[in-house]
Amino acid sequence: MLGRVTGGTVVALVALAGAARAQQAAGALPPGVTAQMVKEGETLFKGAGLCSVCHGQDGKGIPNLGANLADGEWVQSKGSYDDIVKQITIGVTADKSKTGVVMPPKGGTNITDAQIKAIAAYVWSLSHPAKK
């Protein structure tokens, strides 16, 4: 998949993602999700949630470790907000993982359900282009 993506496409996608975040701040988030949750989720993703250890600081994945969460392609689910909440809660077992690498439930941390929802809000925001 990644092999077919050109540098130019990546730049365009990054620009889109930035636009998406700006748009969502204006109210295009999933029901129950607030801009504050996205912000808190980013801090947790890069900090206490340990997500960035396997998925990278920007969520774009690390080869043979965590999947890219910013490309809008989902290997474990359809990538809805609820799917993402569930995925973080249960992790990914070796038999389900495309790479055979396990994701421990909650990234192996003891983040709370509220924190999981915030992190999921941030992860969702990574891949959702602006909609009108």
Chain contacts with ligand HEC (rule: CB under 6 A): 49-51, 53-55, 65-67, 69, 74-77, 84, 87-88, 92, 97-99, 101, 103, 106-108, 119, 123
CB of 3 to ligand HEC, least distance (A): 16
24 vs 85 by CB, closer to ligand HEC? 85
CA atoms of 108 and 35, how far apart (whole Å): 26
CB of 45 to ligand HEC, least distance (A): 6
Helices assigned H by DSSP within the chain: 7-25, 35-46, 51-55, 81-90, 113-126
